[in-house]
Chain A
Amino acid sequence: MNATEKITFWYGCNAVRHGDIIHGAIALLEAVGVEVTPAGGAGYCCGTSKDANLRAAEGMGQRTVKKFNAHGTGKVVSWCPSCYRHMNGFMGEYTQPQFELSHFTQLLHARRDVLAQKLTRRVERKVMLHRHFGFHEVDVNPLVEDLLRLVPGITLLEGGTAAPGHMCSALSRVPASLKDVTRGLCDDAAACGADTVATVFHSCQRLLCGLEASEPFRVVNYVSLLTESMGLTFADDYKAWKLAGSEDEVIAKVGEERIAAIGENLFRESILPELMRRPSK
Chain B
Amino acid sequence: MSDKPQTLVEHLQAFIDDTLTRCTRCGKCYEACPMTKYGEGLQNADAKHVVSGVIDWLQQKPGNAQSVSWLKVCTQSAKCIDACPKGINAMKMVRVAQMSAMGSLGVPAEQAALSGRDAKDFFRVINAFSQTQMTSQQVQKWQR
Interface residues in B127-144 by Cβ distance below 8 A to A read 127-134, 138-139, 141-144
Shortest CB distance A194–B (Å): 24
Tell yes or no: B73 within 8 A of A by CB: yes
Asked if residues B134 and A269 are in contact (CB atoms below 8 Å), the reply is: no
Please tell me if the beta carbons of A16 and B117 are within 8 angstroms of each other in the complex.
no
* Residues from chain A with Cβ under 8 Å of B81 in the complex: 136
Contact of B102 among A19, A52, A58, A90 (CB under 8 A): A52
A41–B8 Cα distance when bound, in Å, is 22
Q: Which of A22-49 contact B (CB under 8 A)?
A: 22, 38-45, 49
Q: Is the CB of B95 within 8 A of A164?
A: no
Number of CB contacts from chain A to chain B under 8 A: 159
With A42-B143, A89-B89 known to touch, is A270 a contact of B75 (CB < 8 Å)?
no
Q: Is the CB of B77 within 8 A of A19?
A: no
Bitwise, A216-244 to B at CB < 8 A (1) or not (0) is 00000000000000000000011000000
CB distance from B131 to the nearest CB of A (A): 5
Assess whether B24 is interfacial by the CB under 8 Å rule: no
Asked if A3 is an interface residue, CB under 8 A from chain B, the answer is no
* Contact present for B142 and A41 (CB under 8 Å): yes
Contact in complex: B2, A134 (CB < 8 Å): no
- The 4 closest A-B CB pairs, nearest first, are A19-B133, A52-B116, A41-B143, A165-B75
Binding site for B on A (CB under 8 A): 13-14, 16-19, 22, 38-45, 49-54, 57-58, 61, 85, 89-90, 93-94, 96, 133-136, 164-166, 170-171, 173-174, 176-177, 237-238, 254, 258, 261-263, 266-267, 269-271, 274
